[in-house]
């Protein structure tokens, strides 16, 4: 029984996550030749303070990215 864990930053619409679960389940079932009813998908939504990139919390990373996209300096 395949079990897939997916970690996401919170904030997506439930319908998007449900669609992703369906797509991932189909891909795993097809790839492994298992019945889709055997595939399990667990989605964990994280808050910005629970995830970091390059030693910085995600809220800082996102703010830096927004600043660069708006033409600010690094």
Which residues does the annotation mark as catalytic?
2
DSSP state of 47: -
**Cα(48)–Cα(43) distance, rounded to whole angstroms?**
16
Measure CA 24 to chain center.
Answer: 12
């Amino acid at each position: 029984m395949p079990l897939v864990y997916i970690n996401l930053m919170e904030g997506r619409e439930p319908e998007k996550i449900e669609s992703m679960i369906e797509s991932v389940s189909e891909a795993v079932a097809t790839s492994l030749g298992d019945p889709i009813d055997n595939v399990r998908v667990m989605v964990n939504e994280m808050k910005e303070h629970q995830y970091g990139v390059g030693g910085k919390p995600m809220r800082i990373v996102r703010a830096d990215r927004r600043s660069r996209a708006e033409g600010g300096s690094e």
